[in-house]
Structure 1
Amino acid sequence: RNMLFGNALKLAEEPSRVLADPAKGQLLGLGAVPEGIEQNPVIYSLLFSHIWRNTAVELDEWFETYLESRYGCRDEAVEKAWDILRKTVYANEGNYESAITARPTFEKHNNWAYTDIPYDPVEVIKAWKYLLQAADRLGKNPCYRYDLILVGKQVLANYATIIQQKFGEDYRTKDLPAFTRNSREFMELIDDMDELMGTHEAFLLGKWLEDARSWGKTASEKQLYEKNARDQITLWGGKDAVLHDYASKQWSGLFKGFYKGRWQLFIDEVYDCIKTGRKYDHTASDDRVRSWEWEWVNGQEKYPAVPQGDPVVVSERMFGKYIKKLQQVYDVNF
């Protein structure tokens, strides 16, 4: 899962504490056994810094060194951004998803998608703004571009859950104009997040699928490997898999190709219910969504396998498009 999350303080203190515990037995070192990797690089860097020490990490000093190493220079705006990130997204245990990646529902949560975040989302907006202030100086730096995309995406992912709750309330009050307006904004947000993530090769569904197909020697093997690659990042099993959305990748291609498709089914059904006065049948709707998901897993439509657009340019445009909406919904000014 590639949302921003991790407990930096725990990782800074626990390895040395355990190493010094009289009950440590034969403990000699440490390792990591992640189910997924290639996300939140700061967390892995912090963990493996313990290989070279037997005392706790002092986070102020560690972050200062990490940032200079990551970006190749000191930058005040970047340091302000990361001070916020350290105290928000990197200060808590657990995974926190967006409503977008959940199987469609009126609820804030669904299986494998829990959207309550344990920090003030306004702070992450501030971090995004600070990072953008460094664009003139660091705009060509690959690590900066990677981090800028993810911070912006996190802001938008948090905002998506607010919109989802709005059109859920619109259904309960049978307010068709409001439901139309809010659901359209939600779908447009999915497109924008797809575009933002599409500017970097690390977040491309198309590359994932092409890599999987490349291992096949025959047409049938290639098709099988693509199916498995699609399944692993969505249903994690068959049509009725209990672990659906367990991987919950926030990638370009998945936003438009998978998450948007099933939300569209849901929104169309709810719209018709409000318009005709029918009661929404969640079970029947869920059955339709599961069938659609399984068709997607078995599909072979193409997605971009190379980045499109400049991360800095797209990030600046997204910030400009959403900042007033964010200020309004969170009742703040920057």
Structure 2
Amino acid sequence: MRFAVFSYLLASLQTIVTATSVQGLYDLVQRRLPGHSEEFVFTLNETTCANSTDLVNDSFTVATGANGSIAITGNSLSALATGLRRYLTEVAHTDVYWFIDSRLDEITTTLPRPNATITGSSIVPWRYYFNTVTFSYTTPFWSWEDWEKELDWLALHGVNLPLAWVGFEKILLDVFQSINMTTSEIMPFFSGPAFQAWNRFGNIQGSWGGELPLQWIDSQFELQQKILKRMLELGMTPILPAFTGFVPRTLTDVYPNATVVNGSQWEGFPTEYTNTTFLAPSDPLFTVLQNLTIVKQIEYYGNITQYYTLDQYNENDPFSGDLDYLRNVTRGTWQSLKSANAAAVWVMQGWLFTSNADFWTNERIEAYLSGVEVDSDMLILDLFSESQPEWQRTNSYYGKPWIWNMLHNYGGNMGLYGQIANVTINPIEALANSSSLVGFGLTPEGQQGNEIMYKLLLDQAWKNTPIDTSSYFRSWAQTRYAEGVSVPTSALPSGVTTAWELLRTSAYNNQNLSAGNAVSKAIYELAPNITKLTNRTGHHPTTVTYDPQIVIQAWNELYRAATQQQRLWESPGFEHDFVDVTRQVFSNAFLSSYESLISTWTASTIDSPPSTKETLLSQAETLISLLHTLDAILATLPQFSLEPWISSARSWALLNTNTTSFTTSTSLQDQNLLTYNAINQLTLWGPTGQINDYASKSWAGLVAGYYVPRWETFLEYLVSVAPEGYRDEEARARVVVVEMGFQKKRKEKRSPWRRKRLQYCTYGCMHERQQTNTTHYMASKYKPYP
């Protein structure tokens, strides 16, 4: 260990680097509005506090300067960036978006000037973003170009406290090597790129399908350096990872006296991949590793933050429920952080208190949190505030600062969904009733859709009364489709605002949390069965909490608007929304058609006329036809296709080998691992389907190549045993467990590679071996759906 460097870095921890420049905002304008950066003047008036630990709300003004410039003044870089977006949306009538990128190029050559001063003040000092698992469900294969767009979006929407997990495996590798562990002892601990979040959480260890490549670790580390530099340029305080205590099993080979316990099994994973080894915070080695982790990041990134994310019991219960044990775990962890960085603040997801509520009684929660003896040394993310808030039952986490968050989405599910009342009224009420609430945030498992809900909460952080959602949705539609000042909002067909009003009052206005408290899942993404597909509630609901006819009306309004104004078909925002609403219409139609088929099948008897089987066959064909048509519609836009997900995974193998073709065994091995990893997450989610279909997607290629064959197999057998099958218990049982040949019809329309892939496709309760073969085969043979 280089003790001189170590001591120097520890000494430097007392002062966070705070040099501030507005150049990052001029660069942002140049990236998104080339040639216009000189028309803006950003003036930073940083607030000076008597107590440097005090948190200050941000504020800005936007006006036309004396020299004709667009003058934006604020007390922080985040305030300036938010003021810039207010100018863009309210004066220039444009914005930046997910999937469709920046629409700022639609502004006319001469930028419009504000006619009056625009002001804004945040009502909370922090605007937080990311869930640890977002880095696996959404960003694992992102390029720097993807991150540039994301970071610009975050800055413009006022986010100033983002999680920054990318490349942490490089830090851990260096840390473990520094205590005399070899690379061969460390690497088997790491999980694949699409599953690293749960390795970091201590839920799983190891990688099925192949070991994580060293080149991947190095490339991600380089990416993290770029991400952090840009975060700082845009006024964000990154939250970096701390050492949690999860270690390779081989640690005890090097340190046989280390105090370790094995975590519990997670989600039915075999012991090989779970029961992660946990080093007790009371062990002196824990503090050594914590110091090394913090110092190593300062050495690589600079002394850029005092906030560190650290979660030790995500969906795993502690070794003991004894109150003193729980208190000592947090005290030891907190003390290790403070020894590494005297200014450190422990950021913790409060999800454990929700997911494992049976274990975490209020008495245990209080004991656990009390181990951090200085309240301001901890920041808790109330992860699912809109549906399952924990801050109320824990008396605002017993005085610890906390952030109100909207989780909204599990596993990247794609249904239209929102709780407009809960994300506007509830955080305002929480702010009035909790003195330790210091921020609003977004914690989606997957950043997959429903962008309006995410913008809504971030905008609510700048308004001290609940936002009028009717006006908000109308402005959203007008700005999204108006193409800047070149097309005034008054020239838009009324159907676009009518459509969004219909969506606002239906899909985005769920108030029945018992029927579903997060984004819905389409049942065609689930393994076919005769039961348990409909009326699911909770985090992956299949229950439709609104009248499906209203969404059809919204679709009709959008279509009618496009017939009245043909240019809408050329609008990326309109194209995206039209496909997205169409996807939801098809999802609802499939659900209704499935219910009709099951009703027909269960009502059949041996005495049923031949027409019953004909009816079933017709209903089955309707279901398959819906899926094929949907796949073709989804294929019209890349954001609704499997191909970009796979291509981005493969691109990292190309990057690692610095070549444009897979000609070496190493590159082929990496390509296969990354592709298999990407597909496994969407399908089996585990070596043999431990969390099957959790992260399913309505993506072209996945619908036709994976879901259709499952449903064809299921429906063919269902029809083949009707009507006598329902009364024959043995035959009925085979409906959900038996392996069957695949439907012969339409095979002539499938290319040989598709026919081969179907032979490995799975449904419902197929054998584990065959399920695993399916994912391996799709990973090695996947081609974009034609």
The aligned length equals 303
Q: Kindly provide the CA deviation profile for residues 54-73 of structure 1, in whole angstroms up to 9, marking residues without a partner as x.
A: 32211122222222221123
- 1:78 matches 2:502: no
Among 634, 643, 646, the alignment partner of 1:209 is: 646
Q: Normalising by structure 2, report the TM-score.
A: 0.37
Q: Which residue of 2 aligns with 1:270?
A: 718
Amino acid at match of 2:559: L
Amino acid at match of 1:302: Y
Q: Which residue of 1 aligns with 2:559?
A: 132
Equivalent residues of 1:121, 1:158 under 8 A apart: yes
- 1:297 matches 2:297: no
Which secondary structure state, in structure 2, belongs to the residue aligned with residue 24 of structure 1? coil
Among 459, 462, 485, the alignment partner of 1:52 is: 462
- 1:144 matches 2:574: yes
* Distance in 1 between residues matched to 2:719 and 2:688, nearest whole Å: 26
* Cα gap change, 1:167 to 1:119, in 2 (>3 Å): same
Equivalent residues of 2:414, 2:520 under 8 A apart: no
Equivalent residues of 1:108, 1:165 under 8 A apart: no
Alignment of 1:1-16 (within 5 A): 1-16=413-428
Among 448, 458, 464, the alignment partner of 1:38 is: 448
Q: Normalising by structure 1, report the TM-score.
A: 0.84
Equivalent residues of 2:418, 2:509 under 8 A apart: yes
* Cα gap change, 1:104 to 1:291, in 2 (>3 Å): farther
1:81, distance to aligned residue in structure 2 (A) = 0.5
Q: Which runs of 5+ in 2 are unaligned?
A: 1-412, 483-488, 511-516, 606-611, 657-666, 740-763
Q: Kindly provide the CA deviation profile for residues 280-319 of structure 1, in whole angstroms up to 9, marking residues without a partner as x.
A: 32233543275554222112233428xx8xxxxxxxxxxx
Among 554, 559, 583, the alignment partner of 1:153 is: 583
* Distance in 2 between residues matched to 1:240 and 1:210, nearest whole Å: 23
Equivalent residues of 1:262, 1:292 under 8 A apart: no
Equivalent residues of 1:198, 1:252 under 8 A apart: yes
After alignment, is 9-18 or 201-210 more displaced?
A: 9-18
1:276, distance to aligned residue in structure 2 (A) = 7.8
Equivalent residues of 2:518, 2:540 under 8 A apart: no
* Cα gap change, 1:44 to 1:303, in 2 (>3 Å): farther
1:269, distance to aligned residue in structure 2 (A) = 2.1
* Distance in 2 between residues matched to 1:181 and 1:105, nearest whole Å: 18
Equivalent residues of 2:470, 2:501 under 8 A apart: no
* Distance in 2 between residues matched to 1:289 and 1:122, nearest whole Å: 39
Amino acid at match of 1:116: T
Q: Which residue of 2 aligns with 1:224?
A: 673
Among 708, 729, 739, the alignment partner of 1:260 is: 708
Which structure has the larger Rg? 2
After alignment, is 288-297 or 138-147 more displaced?
A: 288-297
Amino acid at match of 1:5: Y
Q: Kindly provide the CA deviation profile for residues 120-139 of structure 1, in whole angstroms up to 9, marking residues without a partner as x.
A: 11111000000011212411
* Cα gap change, 1:13 to 1:252, in 2 (>3 Å): same
Q: Which residue of 2 aligns with 1:317?
A: none
* Distance in 2 between residues matched to 1:78 and 1:90, nearest whole Å: 16
- 1:101 matches 2:525: yes
Q: CA RMSD in A?
A: 2.2
Structure with the higher strand share, 1 or 2:
2
- 1:197 matches 2:197: no
Among 500, 505, 508, the alignment partner of 1:87 is: 505
Q: Kindly provide the CA deviation profile for residues 6-39 of structure 1, in whole angstroms up to 9, marking residues without a partner as x.
A: 1112112222222222x231x2222212110031
